[in-house]
Amino acid sequence: MPIYEYHCKNCDQGFEYLVFGSEKPDCPSCKSKKVSKLMSPCGFISRGSGGETVSSSAGASSCNDCAASSCAGCSH
């Protein structure tokens, strides 16, 4: 059961929700059903054969200095 990030189109709030099956959550702030699922960066570290870090999570890609709370709010 994955936890997804959502954004409410009605009240502009962001929230996380533990999903059971194919259900779609209501916004916890305003109870609206007008929500959209956000893309969340995954966390991983890829190591080379010598143990050096080859790449890291999606959140560390091109937006190292980004102050947005999610990629949906990023202007890059």
Q: What is the pLDDT of residues 30-74, one digit of tens each?
A: 999 999 999 876 666 667 777 666 655 555 444 555 555 555 555
pLDDT beyond 70 at 15: yes
Neighbours of 27 (CB within 10 A): 21
What pLDDT does 60 receive? 47
Q: What are the pLDDT digits (tens) for 3-12?
A: 889 999 999 9
Asked if residues 47 and 54 have their Cβ atoms less than 8 Å apart, the reply is yes
| 35 token code pair | 């929500």
d(C-alpha 26, C-alpha 29), whole Å: 9
CA nearest to 38, candidates 62, 2, 7: 7
This prediction has a pTM of: 0.53
